[in-house]
Amino acid sequence: MCLRGLRNIDHATIRVFLRLLNSSGRAHYTWNAQICDEASDTPPDLLIFSLPEHDTLALPPVQAPVIVLKHPQQTPPHWPHHAVARPLQMEEFTEVLLEIESLLATSSQQPVFSQHSPVNYHDTHLQYKLAAWPSSSVLMQNPQFSRLAAFLRSRFLGFNELMRLSRCDDSTAVLFLSTLHDLHLLQIQRQNTLGPASPAVLATPAARVLGIIERLRHKMGLEKMS
């Protein structure tokens, strides 16, 4: 775990949290925090990054999951990383860290779409499912997010089916899916639409007309057309 741009009090608080978490048995990993900078040769498995109070855009270009320590007034509508507000609280920090553990445990699986792949969420061939349950900081971004997450918790759903079940508007559903995708919390699969076509699908218009005529002749007791 890499700490970057944090205040001394944040360093001390996180180290206390990690010591308690590691001894509690709740975590799957043993977490250790160290201060690092952008020139570090070893890529971090997790970065905890602090934004200046006046800056909401200077996010570090890393591939690892990022926890952003933010000020209470920094509440953008679509935060691109996991966010934890100051002053740090043990339960909120632990919840986000355990969520990231779940993501790291499944990172070896090859998703249909990477984090940076553009996704057309209205594509009727795509289906969605949660990779992990979102943290409360994510769900609180919109009153509908908890309802949407519940429908994707245990099964894959297409966009139209998700909207029908949740009775959510289009823009909120897209925002929810894109938020989860940015946070590595969304599984996306392309459903198989190929299958054996029925005779009705394969039949030409002329063949369908002849079939109707043959059925009428059969009902009338007439001989089959040659």
pLDDT tens for the chain, residues 1 to 226: 888 888 899 999 999 999 998 888 887 778 888 888 765 656 677 888 887 655 554 555 556 778 888 877 765 445 556 788 888 999 989 988 888 877 766 554 444 444 455 788 988 889 999 888 888 778 888 889 998 999 998 889 999 999 999 999 999 999 999 988 888 888 888 875 444 434 443 344 455 555 666 666 666 666 555 5
Residue range 2-105 forms a domain whose CATH class is alpha beta
Whole-model pTM: value is 0.48
What residue segments make up the domains of the chain, in order of their start?
2-105, 126-190, 199-226
Distances from the Cα of 76 to the Cα of 70, 83, 154, 158, angstroms: 11, 11, 29, 28
Distances from the Cα of 9 to the Cα of 15, 16, 86, 128, 168, angstroms: 10, 11, 11, 40, 42
